[in-house]
Chains A and B, each alone.
Chain A
Amino acid sequence: MTQSFRLESGGLINRDKKISFKFNGKNYFGYEGDTLASALIANGVHLIGRSFKYHRPRGFFGAGVDEPYAIVQLYRNGETEPNIKATEQELFEGLEAKSVNCWPSVNFDVGAINNFLKIFLPAGFYYKTFMWPKSFWYKIYEPFIRKAAGLGTASIKHDKERYEHKYEYCDLLITGSGPSGLASAYSSAKNGAKVILAEDKSRFGGTLLTSDVNIGNQSGKEWADSIISELKEMPNVTVKNRSQVFGYYDHNMLVMSERISDHLPKTKKYHPKQRLWYIRAKEVLISSGSIERPIVFGNNDTPGVMLSSAAKEYMKVYGVLVGKKPLVFTNNDSGYETAIEFKKNGVDPIILDTRKEPQSEIIEDAKNMNINIKNSYVVVAAQGYKKVKSADIAKISDDKEELGSVQNIKCDCICVSGFWTPTIHLASQSGNKTKFNEEIDAFVPGVSKQNEKTLGAANGIYTLEETLKDSFEKGNQISKEITNNDNKVSFPNVVEKKSTVHDKFWCVPLPKGKNYKRFLDFQNDVAVSDIEIALKEGYRSIEHVKRYTTLGMATDQGKTSNLNGLQLVSKIENKVVPAVGHTTFRPPYSPVSIGAIVGREVGKHSKPTRKSPMHSWHEKNNAVFVDAGVWLRPRYYKRGDENLFEASKREAKNVRTNVGVCDVTTLGKIDIKGPDAAELLNRVYTNAWLKLPVGKARYGVMLREDGIVMDDGTTTRISENHYHMTTTTAQAANVLSHLEYYLQLVWPELNVNVVSTTEQWAGAAIAGPKSREVLKKLFPNSDVTNEGLPFMGYMEADLFGVKAKIFRISFSGELAYEVNVESDYGYFMWEKIIEAGEQFGIQPYGTEALSTLRIEMGHVAGSELDGRTIPYDNSLEGLLSKKKDFIGKRSLSRKAFAAEDRQKIVGVVPLDKKTSIPEGSHLVKDSNAPLPNPKLGYISASCWSVEHDNPFSLAILKDGKNMIGEKLFVMSPLKNKVIPVEIVSSHYVDPKGERVRS
């Protein structure tokens, strides 16, 4: 297949390297250095997709980030990605792309019926039509809208590519490598400043690549190349291409996405696909240039209508003609540059200039080249469905209100130039108060809020000489203040064509009797008529108009549509544009892949994984693990074909009858030292702590200031001024911060230090009636009898040469001990415990059995201490000291907390003693009561009681104190269950607590 629109020579592509690719199943080829867009245009392909709302045929409008609608589904190395701009995607060998938003094909699209129904699809159509009846929403409206409005398909496969994050600091971040970016980077780099220069495209130079200028006796491109190669050599400069700075956040932090591998057929080994840079810059120079504005006319979305700057870029950078019978429609001199370029390449363009008698150097050049120029002429409408075939043109009156007679002329493309809009997105994101510049009819940055300055065209400066001068100077000044160097750069001689003023004309009136769609926002299919309707319906604020019509929304962020939309609103409202104001520009400036945002934090790296020192033992012994916060804990140890239920029952039963061992390393541990340690505990715990003797542990409950239980655990007095506090696994970090808060801010006079020692100690709980026998074997030289180590006692002992701490505390309700050794000896300790316990039938038990044991014992845990309950609710009121004040005490006297029928923890047993009760179910009096059935309480935790061999649950129940013996119903609408139950005491096993003291 020949590239019929490729010029014989010219462009910056590598004609020695042919690249083959596929579009909509058809094979084509282009050259190295092409974008998908330039290669398709070279092959004469202009029909790319269908529009968002009306499914109208769409082609290319721009040549880069400004492209609103040439979006494709990309296939690369077995992966697919939606919403890729064909104008940004560089060509690589084997690239495959498909049109989106069309079915069954781009040439014949069923949805295009919408185009003929367009009178029924006005502004706010979705809001108006799909609101009622309500029952239609899920089954009919939503699926229809989703199918009709889709832009590509996200892959549901795991993304095999790697994305990285990088944090960087610099003196100056410069966003864009056009003339202003290059000049400011150069002069600031010469002053020794640490500079990052970011360019969105693959080639550096911006407009210098396409404009006919001369800098220091070099062409624009040559000058750009020489500056870039010099910058690349400088150690204080980082130069990045394919890197889009898309967001400007607080305190001068900017985020940039670098596309490292997207232009390659396959990501290289050890390379990421993309890298996201978090850049903290002392100063930011915004050199993002400007984007050409369209002029609005009938059917201005027809494939073949495009920005005149894009047409020029396709010729000069890619050696591609966008058409062979071009029409250039302009209100300023830029259109002439494009026309001249056509002419130079042997194509005869026609210029339609809305101005009456403009005069300038460029216009003179065009005349001298015998280019056909029609002054005071406009394009009324493009004709042709899938590609421009001709244009209806007409003379326009001086007041721009009246059209002359309409003639039709043949053409195959219409290149539009409505003057230039500074790209102020980053400045606006930084908090800059933008201002309206009458001269260029656009907003420019105003007062900076952060350390940023905008240069060149982005600041509304449209001549090269002024841009370079200003940018050299700003770069020098700003860097001088940072580095104290002042190395002046000599200013090069600049030759450029002078242009004359543009015409503020932006929208062609409709000829009588015609009702052409005139699009403002090409990506979202917003036409002039939509804005008119929105205003007629009373929408006034530009922010409301935007949301109602979708003008300037989505990935395009109004790059080409913003100002024309504002012009229209201000015209209808009879206001000036600055009085209408512009909508907020939001990051990202251009779409960023989710992969880049997430970076390496995927799969198992999405959070840290903490493992106990005994983890490998658990693995070897068939442990099935469960996530406990960031910890991995054995849930149960599988034997044979056992399931979770069977295994946990066996393990729990074994604790009640013999002895079990559980890894409790994950418990939070805080070391507390200092003469005022007891005083601290006395203030943060609800019970009394001043008289705890050395060598004793005590259970304590901590409240928040609002009286809600924050955490519980035991704290042991190791020596006079030394305590060892344990917290729940989940609250470990919060409790430490809580203690630090009071010590540092509220009671700085207390002489206490706290530090986390969670990782320093490995812990094993040995529980069961035979646990003392195991202990005797482990510590033959220590007195572990009931007298030597009583309940809540503590001792230090020797575990075969390893220093161990033994706490006689119990979560299971059985006679139990917790042994701690330094983490490195954890595995050793564990093996010794298993070995010593063998003859007593020891079995390791996991968190499921642990829960069973504590639930039937009525011990509260995270599911009861859930941030909503006070001590009374959990039957912990016995731990509230009446004699002293403590954190949260005052709140407990609040009315609701002291209410007579306050909720309280109770036990729940199903009447049939068989049916398991789902956690989270509700307790009600009457299962047949009409909805909403009054809820009396909820099930906080459920287990199969191994002691009683029937299901047992804990519940938080209204007036629970007086409900023991009552018959209620448990209802779980989620599991569709109604279970008659009896309320019992929460202490279902050993209510007197004799076992722990035995």
Chain B
Amino acid sequence: MLHIKCPHCGIRSQNEFSYGGDATIKRPELGKEISDQDWDNFVYNRKSLRGKHWELWQHLSGCRQWIKVQRDTATHEIFKTLKANEEIS
């Protein structure tokens, strides 16, 4: 079970969180024209990386905040966590 540092609450066990997918995907702006290919990339296409990966988690049974977590998908090492409004650097 992973140990995730919620930037709001501190270190908590994985079972308080739910996984939310790739954090680097930006939702296209509402009302803007977008090609089929770009839309498919947003909705469906994911890289399934091995290694460092920025992903979203929600602290569901805690502060309910969505957070950004940088995790190694192969080793589960967590390098960094950010609040929702903090940019991935």
Contact = CB atoms under 8 A, between A and B. Distances in A.
Interface of A: 249-253, 278, 280, 431, 449, 683, 705-706, 737, 740-741, 744-746, 748, 884-886, 890-891, 894
Given A251-B2, A251-B76, A431-B75, A745 B39 contact: no
Contacts of B18: 737
Contact of A748 (B2, B3, B84): B84
Interface in B1-27: 1-3, 13, 18, 20, 27
B43 A705 contact: yes
Interface of B: 1-3, 13, 18, 20, 27-28, 30-31, 34, 36, 39, 42-44, 56, 58, 60, 64-66, 75-76, 78, 84-85
27 contacts: A250-B2, A251-B3, A251-B76, A251-B78, A252-B3, A253-B1, A683-B30, A705-B27, A705-B42, A705-B43, A737-B18, A740-B65, A740-B66, A741-B58, A744-B85, A745-B56, A745-B66, A745-B84, A746-B27, A748-B84, A884-B31, A885-B30, A885-B31, A890-B34, A890-B39, A891-B39, A894-B36
B20 A741 contact: yes
B66 to A, nearest CB: 5
Instruction: Pick the most buried of B1, B20, B44: most chain A CB atoms within 10 A of its CB.
Output: B1
Nearest to A733: B60
Contacts of A748: 84-85
Which 4 residue pairs are nearest across A and B when measured between Cβ atoms?
A251-B3, A744-B84, A885-B30, A885-B31
A744 B1 contact: no
A744 B66 contact: yes
A771 B69 CA distance: 53
B65 to A, nearest CB: 6
Contacts of A250: 1-2, 76
Nearest to A251: B3
Contacts of A741: 20, 58, 66
B43 A706 contact: yes
A249 B1 contact: yes
Contacts of A884: 31
A433 B18 CA distance: 31
Contacts of B58: 737, 740-741
A713 to B, nearest CB: 20
Contacts of A449: 75
Contacts of B64: 740
Main SS of the interface on chain B? Answer: loop
A383 B36 CA distance: 77
Nearest to A252: B3
Nearest to B42: A705
B5 to A, nearest CB: 11
Nearest to B85: A748
B84 A886 contact: no
Contacts of B60: 737
B3 A280 contact: yes
B54 to A, nearest CB: 12
Contacts of A278: 1
A706 B64 CA distance: 24
A706 B78 CA distance: 30
A886 B30 CA distance: 7
B2 to A, nearest CB: 5
Contacts of B78: 251
A894 B20 CA distance: 24
Contacts of A737: 18, 58, 60
Nearest to A683: B30
A250 B76 CA distance: 7
Contacts of A280: 3, 13
A252 B28 CA distance: 39
Contacts of A253: 1, 3
Contacts of A745: 56, 66, 84
Given A250-B1, A891-B43, A744 B65 contact: yes
A252 B58 CA distance: 22
Nearest to B30: A885
Contacts of A705: 27, 42-43
B22 to A, nearest CB: 12
A216 to B, nearest CB: 40
A533 B30 CA distance: 65
Instruction: Pick the most buried of B3, B30, B64, B75: most chain A CB atoms within 10 A of its CB.
Output: B30
Contacts of A251: 1-3, 76, 78
Contacts of A885: 30-31
Nearest to B65: A744
A746 B42 CA distance: 13
Contacts of B65: 740, 744
Instruction: Pick the most buried of A249, A745, A748: most chain B CB atoms within 10 A of its CB.
Output: A745
A706 B13 CA distance: 31
B75 to A, nearest CB: 7
A744 B66 CA distance: 7
A446 B83 CA distance: 37
A775 to B, nearest CB: 37
A745 B18 CA distance: 15
Contacts of B3: 251-253, 280
Contacts of B42: 705
A741 B60 CA distance: 11
Contacts of A706: 43-44
Given A706-B43, A740-B66, A744-B65, 18 more contacts: A249-B1, A250-B76, A251-B3, A253-B3, A278-B1, A280-B13, A705-B43, A706-B44, A737-B18, A740-B64, A740-B65, A741-B66, A744-B66, A744-B84, A746-B27, A885-B31, A890-B34, A891-B43
A41 B87 CA distance: 69
A890 B42 CA distance: 11
Contacts of B31: 884-885
A886 B65 CA distance: 23
A544 B49 CA distance: 27
A186 B11 CA distance: 29
Nearest to B23: A745
Instruction: Pick the most buried of B20, B27, B78: most chain A CB atoms within 10 A of its CB.
Output: B27
B1 to A, nearest CB: 5
A431 B85 CA distance: 34
Nearest to A890: B39
Contacts of B30: 683, 885-886
Instruction: Pick the most buried of B20, B42, B84: most chain A CB atoms within 10 A of its CB.
Output: B84
Contacts of A683: 30
A593 B31 CA distance: 57
Nearest to A250: B76
A744 B68 CA distance: 11
A663 B75 CA distance: 49
Contacts of B20: 741
A746 B23 CA distance: 11
Nearest to B3: A251
Contacts of B28: 890
B45 to A, nearest CB: 12
A238 to B, nearest CB: 20
A449 B74 CA distance: 12
B27 to A, nearest CB: 5
A746 B84 CA distance: 9
B19 to A, nearest CB: 11
Contacts of B44: 706
A189 to B, nearest CB: 24
B58 to A, nearest CB: 6
A449 B76 CA distance: 11
Contacts of A740: 58, 64-66
A449 B77 CA distance: 10
A705 B46 CA distance: 15
A670 to B, nearest CB: 12
A728 B66 CA distance: 23
Nearest to B27: A746
A418 B79 CA distance: 45
A361 to B, nearest CB: 46
A683 B31 CA distance: 10
B77 to A, nearest CB: 9
